[in-house]
Chains A and B, each alone.
Chain A
Amino acid sequence: MGISKLLVANRGEIAARVLRTARARGLATAVLRHSSEQEGPAHLIADEVVTIEGPTPVAAYLDIPQIVEAAQRIGADAVHPGYGFLSENAGFVAVLDKAGVTFVGPTSEVIDLMGDKVRARAFVEERGFPVAPSAIEDDDPASFVERARAVGYPLLIKPSAGGGGKGMRVVPEGGALESEIETARREGERYFGDGRLFVERYIERPRHIEVQVMGDGQGNVVHFWERECSIQRRFQKIIEETPSPALTPEQRGEICETAAGIARAVNYRGAGTVEFIYAQNGAFYFLEMNTRLQVEHPVTEMVTGFDLVAEQLRIAAGEGLSAAQADIPQNGHSIELRICAEDAREDFRPAIGDILLLDEPRGEGVRVDSGILDGGEVTTDFDAMLSKLIVHGPDRAEAIARARQAVQNYVILGLTTNTGYLDAILAHPDFASGDVSTGFLAEQADTLTAPTEDVSDMLLAVAALSDERLVDEVMQVPQMHRKMGGWRN
């Protein structure tokens, strides 16, 4: 069941990243491109670019029949979904299976199970893994509010079908539970077409810690250690790192084994991530399992030395895992920064524009997974994430120092990005000490977007002197008159 030609059903940095490994493994490669989409790095790497159509670019990337037809038409025998889009769509996997095309990822059953937060949670709980106190609407919709209240405030309301933080709402002690439930339901319907909810105890100042797992579908599962993703804004991860500064070696072993155990329980195939909420007292609870390659997977690669995409492709090709648990080290420290086109000072409004100048940082321990090209255009058609900056250092302090240097040297001119904001996070003393929770960015919002040194005088001079029309106008004044200046007789 080997693979010879891989279609990457994705775009941007992840498509480029997957294609690089696929090519290195000697596969023929293809990638999608919406007819209105700018050329990106992936299109330069792939052997073949398949144009897809759709009322919106996003709709095209979600169009299962079109993509499966494309895979068959070009003779791809495997499809890598990347993350997002169809990566956790059980229906997509089922259609591919039927078409005889290998899906690089878990079975549709596992996707289905883990995609339903309520079922996943019940599955995990039944097998003795830790979950936070909760109430599930489906169990008995009539008593949902009552049972929710019984879980104990503060509460976190989540859509059963959700993910990525969308539709989640926190209800504090004395909060308007009923109306928040209704709001969450509406959001769930809007985002996922499914208004079912569940609530769980909201953990104060929690950390988000997740574990990378990999299974061969034959019962063998290994973990690739944890990632700490507590630096989030509205449930969107901004900075991820590994190892987590919060864990003792014992806790680390415990949480990683728990994750591997969960994966084993579903006879997991491919790359997956088990996410946990980690409380200040050291307790951790299963949050959800993502049945795909995560955005932040590179930090794991940096400390373990494994190419996770290569592992995915091996498994998909039936070659099994390349390493036993004991062979997977955790060397040094790695941090990933998500470079996004947004204006931190304007409530993170997405920024658009032409990339007039792009110069990515380079150097020892610096990796850039980029979805943009110099001269490209950033639109609001897709996610605001332009690229990922990943650094590696012998220890956390050095990794932070490298990350700061690299993000400061990341030159993207032509639109507003969050590089300054990322640097402000890295420079924050609480980040340096590792004393953060998922509320960190919200709590420090003002500090992190505070004005920096006023350099307006220099900026004015640069803007004036680089304005060719202005300079031309000035230089049209004959030299003598310029030299006389504002002379009056």
Chain B
Amino acid sequence: MRRIFQINGEETECWLSHDGNRFILNTPDGAHPCRLDPAGAPGGHVLRTRGRVQDLRLAVGPDATFVHMNGRTYAIGRVDPAERLAGRDGGAADDRIVAPMPGTVVSVNAKPGDHVREGQPLLDIESMKLETSLTAPRDGVVAEIPFAAGDSFGLKATLALLAPEED
């Protein structure tokens, strides 16, 4: 029901409702009944809002809506606020990389003090006949990698530790 719209680099959060007869767009400057009816040419529509009647052409892309009206073309970016919240992830990633199952270290690709990027492989492990690459959960500095190649480890052993993030 909520959307963040981007026009010329400016963001506006709105929500849409429908009172049974008409849509109402709730914007930071108030609630405005509005109506959009298809008309004529491909993509042709008539918009009614705030006392105005406007002919336009429109096309809806996956992330943006394109509107042609009064001889100009406009692009309006659309963001679902929920997606943006989700993008923030479940907060700060953990500093520890914990063994998902018991196994053996195949190779170690980083050492304490290394600056690593999120997703960078830190070590490869083998367990249950499968090799898995364990990657840095966030950008940071490696604090500790307690195991060397060939070492065995148990379930939930800490395989790598990143230095805590400084706020």
Residues of A within 8 A of B (CB): 345, 353-354, 356-357, 359, 404, 407-409, 411-417, 419-420, 423, 451-452, 455-471, 473-475, 477, 479-480, 482-483, 485
Enumerate chain B residues within 8 angstroms of A480, measured Cβ to Cβ.
Answer: 20
Set of chain A residues within 8 Å of B75, measured between Cβ atoms: 416
Give the CA-CA distance A344 to B33 in the complex, in Å.
33
CB distance from B55 to the nearest CB of A (A): 11
A466 lies within 8 A of B58 (CB)? yes
User: Residues of B at under 8 Å CB distance from A?
Assistant: 1, 3, 5, 7-8, 10, 12, 14, 16-20, 23, 25, 27, 29, 32, 34-36, 41-43, 45, 47, 49-50, 52, 54, 56-61, 65-76, 78, 80
Q: Using CB atoms, name the residue of chain B closest to A424.
A: B72
A465:B34 contact, CB within 8 angstroms: yes
| Most central of B34, B56, B71 by chain A CB within 10 Å | B71
Complex: chain B residue closest to A412, CB-CB? B73
Chain B nearest CB, measured from A42 CB (Å): 23
Selected from A408, A461, A471, the residue in CB contact (under 8 A) with B47 is A461
Given known A-B contacts A462-B65, A477-B18, A467 and B60 have beta carbons under 8 A apart: yes
**Chain A residues with CB below 8 A from B56, complex form:** 462
What is the chain A residue whose CB lies nearest that of B71?
Answer: A408
Chain A residues near B23: list those with CB within 8 A.
464-465, 471, 474
Name 10 interchain pairs, CB-CB below 8 A, sorted by A.
A413-B43, A414-B61, A419-B73, A452-B72, A459-B7, A459-B76, A461-B49, A462-B47, A467-B3, A483-B20
Q: Is the CB of A457 within 8 A of B50?
A: yes
A440–B10 CA distance with the chains assembled, in angstroms: 29
- Inter-chain contacts of B54 with A (CB < 8 A): 458
Q: How far is the CA of A415 from the CA of B76 in the complex (A)?
A: 11
8 A-B pairs closest in CB distance? A408-B71, A356-B59, A483-B20, A413-B59, A413-B66, A465-B36, A357-B59, A461-B34
> B3 to chain A: which residues have CB within 8 Å?
463-464, 467, 470
Distance in angstroms from A160 CB to nearest chain B CB is 41
- Do B68 and A411 have beta carbons less than 8 Å apart? yes
Give the chain A neighbours of B52 by CB distance below 8 A.
Answer: 458
**Contact between A357 and B19 (Cβ–Cβ < 8 Å)?**
no
What CA separation (Å) do A354 and B60 show in the bound complex? 11
Structural contact, A356 and B78, CB atoms closer than 8 A:
no
B8 → chain A, closest Cβ, in Å?
7
Query: Which of A420, A460, A470, A482 is in CB contact (< 8 Å) with B72?
Result: A420
Separation of A407 and B67 alpha carbons in the complex (Å): 15
Q: Are B57 and A354 in contact (CB-based, < 8 A)?
A: no
Q: Are A464 and B60 in contact (CB under 8 A)?
A: no
* Cross-chain contact of A464 among B7, B14, B43, B66 (Cβ < 8 A): B14
Residues of chain A within 8 A of B80, CB atoms compared: 469
5 further interface pairs, Cβ-Cβ under 8 Å (given A411-B68, A464-B25, A482-B17): A357-B57, A359-B41, A460-B12, A480-B20, A482-B20
Minimum CB–CB distance from A271 to chain B (whole Å) comes to 34
- Return chain A residues, CB-CB under 8 Å to B65: 462-463, 466-467
Q: How far is the CB of A218 from chain B (nearest CB, A)?
A: 49
Which chain A positions have C-beta within 8 A of B5? 459-460, 463-464
Q: What are the residues of chain B within 8 A of A470 when measuring CB–CB?
A: 1, 3, 16
In the assembly, what is the distance between CA of A466 and CA of B59, in Å?
8
Note all chain B residues with C-beta closer than 8 A to A451. Answer: 8
Q: Which residue of B lies closest to A465 (CB)?
A: B36
Q: Contact at A462–B45, with CB atoms within 8 Å?
A: yes
Q: What is the CA–CA distance of A485 and B67 in the complex, to the nearest angstrom? A: 30
Assess whether A474 is in contact with B42, with CB atoms less than 8 Å apart. Answer: no
**Minimum C-beta distance from A411 to chain B (A):** 5
Q: Is the CB of A460 within 8 A of B57?
A: no
B20 touches A413 (CB 8 A): no
**A417 / chain B contacts, CB cutoff of 8 Å:** 73
Smallest CB separation, B140 vs chain A (Å):
33
| CB < 8 Å neighbour of A456 from B7, B36, B47 | B7
Given A465-B36, A482-B20, does the pair A458, B61 have CB atoms closer than 8 Å? no
Looking at A408, A470, A471, A475, the one whose CB has the most chain B CB atoms below 10 A away is A470
The interface residues of chain A lying within 8 Å CB-to-CB of B34 are 461, 464-465
Nearest-CB distance from A487 to chain B (Å)?
11
Chain B residue numbers with a CB within 8 Å of A452 are 72
Contact of B32 among A404, A461, A471, A473 (CB under 8 A): A461
| Shortest Cβ gap from B78 to chain A (Å) | 6
Q: Which residue of B lies closest to A457 (CB)?
A: B50
